[in-house]
Amino acid sequence: MSNFLIPNYAKHRIHDLFSPQTSAETKANAARWYAEMVMDKFLLVPEDSKKKFAKKIKIISESYDNSELVSNLKRIANIGNKGSHHEEGRVLSAEEGHEVVQLAMSLLNFVLVEYFKSNPFRYDSCGGTIFSTLLPSIRVEVLSRLLRHEKLEFYEDYEVFHKYLLACTKDGRPEDAYAMVDSFEESGFVDEFQAEYERRSIEVIDSEHRKQKLMVAKNSHDCRRNFNDVMSQLSARHISDNSKLIEIIEYMLEAVEPSDPSPTQEGGVMYLV
């Protein structure tokens, strides 16, 4: 569960979703319920929340230009229906149970993807700061879906590229970050000077991360600590401008108690990716 933040509203389904003792059918049923929770909360208007699951997917497919999101929802519906309805001789495999849980857990990341499509980082740097309080693994997944693998012609493209590299490094994967820089330089997506700047940035962040001088979130309690700290420093205007993003993260962190900073981190806080 370290790669996901489970909303408090869904805590009672954690056993069904993740326990090795629960069947694939139980996991599929719980994953379908979880997916519907996310859809109703963030991807649909209130009057559509009473519609059938298939109808909800159709509405989302017409509202969002995200084929992967729609495909994942259809797969969740397919496996979830098999787990919820009896058919003699049909038994879901453990692999299907694992797959549907992973797909459901990724949905809040898609909510963040859709948010940043409409609110690029270049429009408000505070959005990037708020986003940086989340687990690096979540940031990597969101940024990888925002990153367009083509020439970085626009400022927001380069911002996403830069943030992806640093989030990847903070996730303990500097070698992957270096490899992407090499690939983008060889393809001409970044020039020699941009590539060298990114390599140096990765080196610095990796060094500070290894020394545990960065307040990089390792669990939901760390995320709450970081989030509370950033929120305490934002102006009323910045809070208003980023209200939707704040709502999403507050939902992910509801009822989570903040952790305490370690002695090596005090005075050395760095959030921005």
pTM of the model: 0.91
Q: Kindly report, residue by residue over 239-269, the tens digit of the pLDDT.
A: 999 999 999 999 999 999 999 875 455 554 5
Q: What pLDDT, in 10s, does the model give residues 15-72? A: 999 999 999 999 999 999 999 999 999 999 999 999 999 999 999 999 999 999 999 9
Task: Count other Cβ atoms within 10 Å, centred on residue 2.
Answer: 9
Domain extent listing, the chain = 8-105, 120-273
* Rounded mean pLDDT, 210-238: 94
Q: 100 with 79: CB under 8 angstroms?
A: yes
Please give the mean pLDDT across all residues of the chain: 90
CA distance to 72, 168, 195, 267, per residue, from 202 (Å)? 33, 9, 11, 21
